[in-house]
């Protein structure tokens, strides 16, 4: 449990997303395939570099789900 000027947050890494499970699983698999391509230095589409969801979150960053173009954006609170 963390407390800060924004309130208190509890984090449970075992919690599943509330979105449709199939959609989330497909998106995660797609992201991992893109990461594998990046590690192998294969050809990547430009979308990979524009999509913030593919970045590894830094400390103090929470992932929020916003309905803007069906993308997940990273919001920094600290």
Q: How many domains does the chain have?
A: 1
User: Would 12 be classed as within a structural domain?
Assistant: no
Question: 46 lies in a domain?
Answer: yes
Q: How confident is the model at residue 32 (pLDDT cuts 50, 70, 90)?
A: confident
- 51, part of any domain: yes
What pTM did the predictor assign?
0.24
pLDDT in tens, 35-62: 776 666 666 555 545 555 555 555 555 5
Q: List the domain range (segments joined by +) for residue 66.
A: 18-76
Cα–Cα distance measured from residue 53 to residue 71, given in angstroms and rounded to the nearest whole number: 7
Is 33 part of any domain?
A: yes
Residue 42 belongs to some domain of the structure? yes
- Contacts of residue 19, defined as CB under 8 A and 6 or more positions apart, other chains included, come to 65
């Amino acid at each position: 449990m963390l407390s800060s000027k924004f309130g208190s947050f509890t984090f449970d890494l075992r919690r599943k997303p509330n979105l449709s499970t199939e959609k989330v699983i497909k998106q995660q698999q797609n992201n991992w395939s893109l990461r594998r391509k990046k590690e192998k230095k294969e050809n990547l589409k430009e979308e990979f570099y524009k999509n913030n969801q593919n970045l590894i979150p830094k400390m103090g960053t929470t992932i929020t789900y916003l309905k803007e173009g069906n993308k997940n954006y990273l919001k920094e609170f600290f």
